[in-house]
Structure 1
Amino acid sequence: MATSYILTGSYASESEPGIKLWEFEKNNGKLIELTNIVGIERPSFLAVHPNGTSFVATSEVGNGELVSYWIHPTTKKMMEINRQSSNGDHPAHVTIDETGNWLLSVTYSGATINVHPLLADGAIGDLAFSIKHEGSGPNKERQDAAHPHSIIQVPGKNLFLVSDLGTDTITTYKLDADKGELTLRYIVQTEAGAGPRHLSFHPTMPFVYSVNELNSTLMVYKISHEGQLEFIQLLPLVPDSYEGENTSAEIAVSSDGSFVYASNRGHDSIASFAVQANGTLENLGLAGSGGEGPRHFGIMPENDWLIVTNENSHTLTVLKMGQTGTPCAVENIIQTTAPVCIKVIK
């Protein structure tokens, strides 16, 4: 039976199994827990190394840590390699560059963007570079200060986009691949109070799809060779008739570039969009996330399954994709403590 391997992070305590490795059966959508790791507090976000056998987790607490792990290729046992300070409170996102040489992270409460080298054995080296964001936004409760929420590489380039929920900005940085230093290239301002959180790239066309957490919208940008963003389209992620609270969380493009998906916490749904020839999106509708608080989700490489981490209901939900590109059925629900991130190991 065809299988894939999946990692999940969570808001589990240090004494609980916070990171889990799963086997996924592609034929029937079954998830089987293989092993887990304890000893890390709130291991929320994960980044898998290009080698597929090591990864880094953020310990999303005050004075947080970045922790590297190794997965044995045959036994699938996980072992901690080392830890480094996150250089700021509440590290919310981490990414490993395409070369596997650099680890880039952001701290939500510390407002820092940090670069660490990754050593040959997978260990995280000493801090190479850091820069701090300043500013605020109109939402006094959530935008009291800068809150960088993600740092994501532009595919094939030494360029990285930082979405800052606190300042309503998406910033383009260029990475010096020799020194690990970041240079500011561009800053684009979103709608006031939007709260940009995560973004995803089209695999073949120069378009970026960004999810705004606070006003539950999706923005489409065209991106230049130098990493400059040009606004193209704004779309709502929940119906006008919905009167409850909602914060949008994750966004992803299918590997064939045909569809874009985004998650809604509160409305507890997955929004689906079809990508048009000019990069803009057509709304295909909403499907239930199969749980409460869908903070993150992952699309399987063949685009036939979508797995959701429902933080508030403590569930992983396996959704079968329909012929039209939208989730059409809940095939499996697994109980696990406060899952908040899912990563497919290629």
Structure 2
Amino acid sequence: MTASAHNIHFYVGTYASEQEESLFHCILDTTSGEMHIVSGTVGIENPSYLTVSPNRQNLYVASEKANGELFSYSIDPENRELHLHDRKVSEGSSPCFVETTPDGKMLLAANYGGCVVALPIRDRGSLDQASRVRHTGSGPNKDRQEGPHPHAFVSSPEGTFLFAPDLGTDRIAKYTLEDELLFKQDDTELPQGTGPRTLAFHPSGNWAYVSGELDNTVTTFEYDGQSGRLRPSQRVLLLPEPQAADPANTAAHVAVSPCGGHVYVSNRGDDSLAHFAVNPENGQLTLVERVPSGGSVPRHFAIAGDCLLAANQESGSIVSFTINERDGRLTPTGFALELNRPVCVCPFPETKESESAAAETR
């Protein structure tokens, strides 16, 4: 693939040992959907979630293992290649999510083993000692909710509040940060057996959406930025009955399109992507379509320019789709990138200048 204004760099995390190439730097041609691997990185086990810092200088990675670690890679400004800069223990087991606060000063991580942490980010992306809070509780699903399982840790758009959906307790825990320390505030409760997994805010900051892994739902919340209150306003099944009640089907990632007009959720087992239109008046969702993910077990996906890239864990593929500019509908491009057990896709955010240049060449 030759250099082009249409190209977007992205990173892929996989379930692989630290002796194998497990973290990949790739390029997407947004005009065709074709993808290529640029390079692979060894030395990190199960890099299951990735996020780029707001200043675009570092990639932070969760190493999902029993003794969890968090890695900081510097990103070469010329070629986007990765160079290990720092690594710290995650203060818990099986970290499965990382995100920075909007100001880029703190790294948030969810340890599926039962706790959340916040680490100060120092010079050039180094990580300092973590503030840690352990969750308590359980849920009715004895196989999946025997204890707390935070699955995400997300900052509110204005950065005042932090939210951790806990799959094991059917709650969304709310936190604040004071002097780089986490302080628990309160919980938003969901119906028993929901298994809240990931949370995505609408670009307006007025609404948030949470995927229910265990009951195959997406819940719309009204968000009050002053109090940090999440008020549920709608609950929608991702699959028709009886598929929604089948434990073999589990919801995974949720994301909102940059324009705010669409919400997408991946469905494992059913192996599909559910696409909803967003009501601009109240944020509520209307199902538009379900599209096959092009593989097996779509654990994660990401929106990259005019494309959506779905990571099909068990079939070993990243499948690209074009996103219709008018209605948000997904169309397979016919291109797939073969990788062993891909579980997270993280596009490198383009600058406004590069986005304008790409638009001018279309």
TM range (shorter): over 0.9
**1:81 to 1:205, Cα distance in 2 relative to 1, 3 A:** closer
Match in the other structure for 1:69: 73
Aligned counterpart for 2:258 among listed residues 250, 255, 259: 255
Match in the other structure for 2:343: 340
Measure, in 2, the Cα distance between the counterparts of 1:216 and 1:80.
37
Contact 1:305 1:319 in 2 (8 A): yes
Match in the other structure for 1:116: 119
Aligned counterpart for 1:103 among listed residues 104, 107, 110: 107
Measure, in 2, the Cα distance between the counterparts of 1:263 and 1:223.
23
Larger relative helix fraction? 2
The total of aligned residue pairs comes to 340
Match in the other structure for 1:233: 234
Contact 1:36 1:78 in 2 (8 A): no
Measure, in 1, the Cα distance between the counterparts of 2:95 and 2:128.
17
- What 5-or-longer segments of structure 2 have no aligned partner? 350-362
Measure, in 1, the Cα distance between the counterparts of 2:79 and 2:320.
25
Match in the other structure for 1:180: 180
Alignment of 1:156-167 (within 5 A): 156-167=158-169
In the alignment, structure 1 residue 222 sits paired with structure 2 residue 226: no
Measure, in 1, the Cα distance between the counterparts of 2:128 and 2:323.
41
Contact 1:42 1:61 in 2 (8 A): yes
In the alignment, structure 1 residue 278 sits paired with structure 2 residue 282: yes
Match in the other structure for 1:291: 295
Secondary structure of residue in 2 paired with 1:95? strand
Secondary structure of residue in 1 paired with 2:110? strand
Letter in 1 for 2:32: N
Letter in 2 for 1:54: N
Measure, in 2, the Cα distance between the counterparts of 1:342 and 1:67.
16
- What 5-or-longer segments of structure 1 have no aligned partner? none
Instruction: Give the structure-2-normalised TM-score.
Output: 0.91
CA deviation profile, 1:287-311 (whole Å, cap 9, x unmatched) = 000110000000124xx21100000
Instruction: Give the structure-1-normalised TM-score.
Output: 0.95
Report the RMSD for the aligned CA atoms in angstroms. 1.3
Letter in 2 for 1:104: L
CA deviation profile, 1:42-79 (whole Å, cap 9, x unmatched) = 01111211121211111100011111111211133311
CA deviation profile, 1:161-220 (whole Å, cap 9, x unmatched) = 1000000001111122xx211222331110101100001111115100110001110100
Contact 1:35 1:78 in 2 (8 A): no
**Structure 1 segments of 4+ aligned residues over 6 angstroms from their partners:** none
Measure, in 2, the Cα distance between the counterparts of 1:142 and 1:96.
28
Contact 2:198 2:254 in 1 (8 A): yes
Match in the other structure for 1:36: 40
CA deviation profile, 1:4-63 (whole Å, cap 9, x unmatched) = 111111111111111111111111111121122101110111121112121111110001
